[in-house]
Every structure is written in structure tokens, then in C-alpha cells.
């Protein structure tokens, strides 16, 4: 097992990519704290992990609020004694996406959950990782940060900021045996698209997905389990000499098919 006796916090772990990573880590021997904004989804995934024979705890917290993040980390340390791995996966998009239609509130909300939340979680866990002279931080960005498929100014700005956060922290924390890397998923079949497509008809939605598939050199969308495989590499000792990297996981994107 690649993660035997490790403890991980996975934010946004109730569905999609986060759930895929949580289950993959548990399969490899990791105990997992599943974070989500609402407890019901997190508890369901925590139950799946316990059924595998691993320890798990569901914790509801808004990662954009420092007090809630600090409480989540404190509860994890109290119950599990350490934090070896942090996966900053919580994110989302809401509101209008074009520059002139983006309100101050939309901008603040999307930057908050996608970028500020990652900063707050890193700030909270790093002192514990430093104490143990060990840590793996995995920040989930997006291929949209470097190759936008459509104008989504607040979301892509936040995900671009994640890349800056990753490289800066990798440099700062390397001396403490803490690695910091990013994953840039391409189009993945998750609930993420529910919000984006809520105003489309069924036929329009099918056309949208077909358009995405045609843009990908592999001519298909990815699955959460495929991003989980990349996360497992970065969380394990297979990547012990890798830090400050941003790994594209988009079926060949941004290459042109």
C-alpha cells in the first residue's frame, strides 16, 4: 500500500474529483478526513471509506473562512494525531463569467473558495507538517488557468492564482521535507458542470459535452478516478523528489487534436 499509516485531509471530498481521491487514498491504506460544505455528502463518503477498513471523519467547513478551517485542522490533529497529506480540492463557479457581467460579490465568492480557501488550509496545516518534518500538499487547479475553454474570468483567475501559491510554497517549504504540487484537470465528468449547464436544454447539454470531447486529443472526457491516480502519485513516496510542479491531466490538452 502506497499510503499505509498516512492521514489526509481532502477538501471538497463529498463528490466528483474529491470523492475519487478520497476513495483512492483509502484503498492505499490512508485514513481520510472528508471535508465538504455540507455534512451529509461528506458523511456518505466517510462511510464508504470506513467500509474499506480505514478510519475516516466527515467535517463540514467553509474553506473560505479561516475560523472554520482552523477548527477542522484542530479536530483532525486531536483525533488522528497528525496530518501527512492535504488535498486542496474544494472549488466551484457561480454567477456570470464574462468580465463586464461579473459582480464584486461573484468575484469575491469564487476567489474565496477556489484560491483563498487553499491558502487558508495550507496556513493551518503547515505548522503541524513542519513539526513532523513531513508533508504532501496537492493543490487542484484547472487547465482553464492556462488554456481557457471559455471566458470564466473569476474561476480562471483563481485557478491561476493556485499555480502561484503552489510554486511559492514549494520553494518556502522544501527545506522542511514538505512537497507542494498542483494538478490541472481538464474536462472531467463530475457534478461541476451541473451549475454551468443549468440553463441549457438536454440537447444543448449533449452538444456541449460533444464539443468538449472533440477538443480533447484523446477524444473523451476524463473520470475522477484518473485524477485520483495523479493525486496518489503526488501523495506517495513515488514523488519524493518532486515539488513545485503543475501536472496537466487533460487527455492531451492543451495540445490541439
Active site residues: 155
- Per the CB < 8 A criterion, the answer to whether 115 and 161 are in contact is yes
- Per the CB < 8 A criterion, the answer to whether 177 and 135 are in contact is yes
Any residues with CB less than 8 A from the CB of 81 and at least 6 apart, and which? 7
Of 190, 165, 148, the residue nearest 12 (C-alpha): 190
Tracing cell 487547465 back to the chain, one arrives at 143
User: Could you give the count of Cα atoms lying within 13 Å of 232 in the half-sphere of its Cβ?
Assistant: 21
Q: What is the C-alpha to C-alpha distance for residues 91 and 145, in angstroms, rounded to an integer?
A: 14
Calculated CA dihedral for residues 242, 145, 192, 70, nearest 10 degrees: 60
Amino acid at each position: 500500500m502506497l499510503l499505509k499509516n498516512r492521514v489526509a485531509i481532502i477538501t471538497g471530498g463529498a463528490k466528483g474529483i474529491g470523492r475519487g481521491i478520497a476513495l483512492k487514498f483509502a484503498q492505499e491504506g490512508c485514513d481520510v478526513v472528508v471535508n465538504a460544505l455540507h455534512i451529509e455528502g461528506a458523511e456518505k463518503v466517510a462511510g464508504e471509506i470506513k467500509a474499506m477498513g480505514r478510519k475516516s471523519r466527515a467535517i463540514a467547513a467553509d474553506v473560505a473562512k479561516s475560523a472554520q478551517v482552523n477548527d477542522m485542522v484542530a479536530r483532525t490533529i486531536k483525533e488522528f494525531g497528525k496530518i501527512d497529506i492535504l488535498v486542496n480540492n474544494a472549488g466551484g463557479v457561480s454567477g456570470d463569467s464574462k468580465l463586464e457581467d461579473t459582480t464584486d460579490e461573484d468575484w469575491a465568492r469564487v476567489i474565496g473558495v477556489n484560491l483563498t480557501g487553499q491558502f487558508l488550509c495550507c496556513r493551518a496545516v503547515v505548522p503541524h507538517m513542519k513539526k513532523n518534518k513531513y508533508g504532501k500538499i496537492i493543490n487542484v487547479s484547472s487547465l482553464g488557468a492556462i488554456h481557457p475553454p471559455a471566458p470564466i474570468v473569476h474561476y480562471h483567475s483563481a485557478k491561476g492564482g493556485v499555480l502561484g501559491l503552489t510554486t511559492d510554497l514549494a520553494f518556502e517549504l522544501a527545506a522542511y521535507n514538505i512537497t507542494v504540487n498542483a494538478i490541472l484537470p481538464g474536462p472531467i465528468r463530475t457534478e461541476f458542470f451541473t451549475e454551468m449547464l443549468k440553463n441549457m436544454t438536454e440537447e444543448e447539454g449533449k452538444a456541449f459535452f460533444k464539443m468538449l470531447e472533440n477538443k480533447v486529443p484523446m477524444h473523451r472526457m476524463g473520470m475522477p478516478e484518473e485524477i485520483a491516480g495523479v493525486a496518489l502519485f503526488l501523495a506517495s513516496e513515488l514523488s519524493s523528489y518532486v515539488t513545485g510542479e503543475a501536472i496537466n491531466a487533460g487527455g492531451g490538452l492543451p495540445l490541439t487534436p
